Amino acid sequence: MNDSCSEFEFIQGIVEEISNFKLNCTPLFVARYPVGINCRVKTILSNIESNDGHIIGIYGPSGIGKTTIAKAIFNRICDQFDGFCYLENLRERSGTNAGVIELQEILLLEILRDTNLKVGNKSRGINMIKERLSFMRILLVLDDVDKWIQIENLLGRCDWFASGSKIIITTRDKHLVATLGKRCSTYEVKGLDQDEALELLSMHAFQSNKPKEDYLELANRVIKYAKGLPLALVIMGADLNGRTKHQWRSAVDKYKRIPNEEVQKILEISYKGLDEIEKDIFLDIACFFKGFFKEYVMDILNACDLHPIYGIQKLFDKCLITVDQYDRLLMHDLLQQMGRDIIRQESPRIPGERSRLWCYEDVHKVLTQNTGSEKIRGIMICSSEPSKMEVEPKCFEKMKNLKFLMVSNVDIYGGLKYLPNELRVLDWSGFSLSSLPSNFDPQKLIALNMPESRVILGKLFKRIQCKNLTYMNFNSNQYIRKLPDLSSATPNIKKLDLRDCRRLVNVPDSVGYLDKLESWDLWNCIELQILPSCIVMKSLKYLNLIYCKRFKRFPHIPQEMENLKYLNVGRTAIRELPPSIGNLTGLERLEIGSNFYTCHLPSSIYKLQQLRNLILYGNVKFPKDVGIKRQATACNSYGGFSKYYFPKLNFLKKLTSCFTHSETCLISGSKDLNLQESIIRFNRLNWLQIWDSKFLKKIPKLPESIRQVDARNCISLNSESLRKLILQFGRNLGLSPNMKCSCVKHKGLMDSHSHRNLSNQIDCSSRVSLSKFITIEDEYFPTLDTYLVDFRERYDIEVPGKKIPNWINHQSIESSISFWVGPEFPSIALCVAIHLIPLKDSYANNDKYGSIRDDIIDFVCEIHIFTNSHKQGHMVRTQCYEMKCDHLWFHGEPHSQLQRDFGDLMQGDRNHVEISCKIDHWVSRNGKYAPVIARMGVHVECVCPPQNSVIIQHNSQNVADDTELPAPLLSQNVDDDAELLAPLLSQNGSHTDSDEGGPSSSSSP
């Protein structure tokens, strides 16, 4: 003890040091209910332990839980360090020199516990921190950082940390952590999943880990609104605590229109950090362009002088937007709502004084009352139901600065005499007039999208020149017979969509010289006969002419076009391709051929060395001038064939005399078809697709590599080949037909539903028009790359049939089924019976084949798999096109895939599995039939508990009055091989209602 220090002072110093130490060791408060925190902390800690780097950057949008996670990590590991400190709210506290100095002193105090240290000024503080702490193993959390200078003011160049030190930074700015380079590992905080969100909401609203049963539907509405954002769930849960159901409903409806103020305040933080141009970009995306392709939006915003290359990246770095795998711009619903509320606040009472309008009621008021103004930058008029709106012919005249006009599902009538020349986007589906206003001169127009309109292009482009026009969509326009000279009117066009323009006949030669054109779609232009005699389109990547059934002559290609990746001339009248086809040196996917004509290919076809996917329709003849010896060698070995002809080919759809040893085969519409036994030599074949062959009776033994067989509408397939096919399908999955379910002591038969009963199950709400169906499906193949990718491994069979095989050990007459499995998820085989049911009794089938309907049905079927009541599940989706009879779809999921998807959700030795199936959307070409899920089955190695009787929930709507059934879960066992061999078809080859079959309708892009 120093002589100058009294005993009291000495003791007092010890007491203060102990008190400071205890205070420093007090855990931080994390959250009242830390739902979902532990698993995220565990992931980050494993990263910390395995990484030698000093800095860990945790980033994500406002309210996602970054701070909560950082506190939990801090509490978990702080005692492992020589010193530790948690500095919160750096963004708010670093605004002044005094604030920075205070943070520096707190950092030194927390770690060194010396109350006498004063830094004096900011620069001195940086050096003091480095000098005093560089020899210590420290843990430091810097919470809510939004600028690099905030880190620099505390840690200098971040290059002095002692071995084992860890610096955790939370931020909304992804780019900020990226600037730290290799020293920094990053972790993106994702939103809560469905189960976590429900638990967090329930804890705050009900003080229980699940909602009251009669509140479940309302709780799910809140969860859907919050989209996994913990901040919103906490605030809304507390707000709804103790409220009645009527109050819940009212509150949720209000949330959708006006966001919660507390949530809004937090979400606006990142927005307020943007400059004015970046704010404009954010608001344009929030109001109009969420879900659009990034390139499309950038082209439009660039024409508005908003510098989107930098601006959109800034929004991405600030976690205000995300970009999906297809390069579409996405935004959390609450951020979108926040942006839209900012616009609403511009003029709460007078919509015409706002900069952007998207709400139908607001737009209706402005247009019908003609109360627009120059402040309006964009308008989106979209109705959930088809509607009509009568407007003044000059209702847009006051909106001189209007840049975006988007109309959908609304028939605006009353004439139109004015459109602003400042428009960059004119997107008007179903435009009912034959021309645009005569005074409209849109020199700055980037996108002209008018599908299903009556605009006559020749008349339009005789009057106006759109030199900047980049995107043009006139699909389903039945008033276009000849395309105008676009090379002078729209020389910079990049995407041209003329799908389903059924009266289009002639495309002039000048169009063949559009050197900026990248995508040209002429699908189903059934009257098209003339294309340019030659095409010189150096930028073209995608050209689609399928179903142009009158088109005979493909253009000459005088120069190399290395950018064209996709060419589809299938189902056309082309009988030969020109030798210049060899100039398509970059082609990766080619579809060609017809059911009515033989198509001859030139020897230059072999110059397509980049070809990966080759899809052939009908009879396509390959050249024979390559030498008999070499051709024979090619036919005897897939490897030799692909190496000599197309070295990158891994996807072939058709069998011909030469193209035999492929990975994928398709035969379509052949009347006299017989597959040879030699198909077993196709040792890389994984997909066999045969459509509309009424005379195909047998599928021989297929190679072990087979994964998918699609024999759609092939009604004459015999029972023996189908039996073997299904057994092979089971073997590939490791499933024995002899597996039994102990839940059932006796066998029950599931009689057929009558059409009268199944007609009650038709879901008319999911019925859509053909154009809508195409639009929906386009979302699943949004980019050129989705047409070029190789298909993932999946097990599917699709064949005509009505009944599920008896040996499948779990069956249901409902569209869902449940069972129990062990600690790991085993392989499963699903079977779904899809029947085509007449929409009216008068449409009952009278076809001589007994199964082909006088209709063509397209639909999408979805299977959802859930375990242990978790909302998070696995979804299988398949597109079924041109179906004409009842079918069975078999789908297999291997153990490895299911264990990856559900391994973390399995609980103990017994786990409950529920599988449901639904028709997501469908179209009837002739309006006579509808697809219905008649029954489903699952074959699986289960651990279902024994029952004394069959357990089935009876549903009288699904079963004929005289049918006696025990329930929805019907487990059946194979007693002997005789049952397994039960015939699928009658002896004469026509289809019957017997119990075998197999399915898959995994459609390709």
Residue 850: the pLDDT is 43
Closest CA to 37 of 200, 226, 210: 200
Closest CA to 715 of 745, 687, 693, 741: 693
Closest CA to 185 of 37, 76, 47: 47
* Angstrom distance (rounded) from CA 782 to CA 65: 32
* Angstrom distance (rounded) from CA 212 to CA 202: 8
* Angstrom distance (rounded) from CA 618 to CA 593: 6
* Angstrom distance (rounded) from CA 175 to CA 312: 13
Q: Which CATH code fits 264-344?
A: 1.10.10
Residue 12: the pLDDT is 66
* Angstrom distance (rounded) from CA 844 to CA 822: 46
Q: DSSP character for 752? A: P
Beta-sheet strands, E only, within 687-774: 687-691, 708-710
pLDDT in tens, 319-348: 999 998 888 999 999 999 999 999 999 999
Residue 648: the pLDDT is 65
Closest CA to 290 of 325, 264, 321: 321
Residue 993: the pLDDT is 34
- Using only the alpha carbons of the chain, give its radius of gyration: 33
Closest CA to 226 of 345, 322, 335, 342: 335
pTM for this predicted structure: 0.79
Q: Which CATH code fits 7-188?
A: 3.40.50.300
| Helix (H) or strand (E) run with residue 17 in it | helix 7-25
Tokens at residue 245, please?
């159901």
Beta pairing, strands 911-924 & 816-821: antiparallel
Q: What letters, b where the CB count within 10 A reaches 16 and e where it falls short, cover 585-622? A: ebbbbbbbbbbebebebbebbbbbebbbbbbbbbbbeb
Q: What is the dihedral of CA 834, 839, 842, 844, to 10 degrees?
A: 0
pLDDT in tens, 743-770: 754 344 444 444 447 778 888 888 888 7
What residue type is 329 in one-letter code?
Answer: L
**What are the φ/ψ torsions at residue 18 (nearest 5 degrees)?**
-65, -40
pLDDT in tens, 974-984: 333 323 222 22
Q: How far is CA 239 from the centre of its chain?
A: 33
- Compute CA distances 57 → 219, 274, 322, 531, whole Å: 33, 21, 18, 56
Burial class (CB in 10 A: 0-12, 13-18, 19+), 191: buried
Question: What parts of the chain have a pLDDT lower than 50?
Answer: 21-23, 626-644, 654-663, 666, 670-672, 745-756, 846-850, 948-1005
Q: What is the dihedral of CA 494, 496, 497, 503, to 10 degrees?
A: 180
Tokens at residue 5, please?
């220090």
* Angstrom distance (rounded) from CA 744 to CA 965: 14
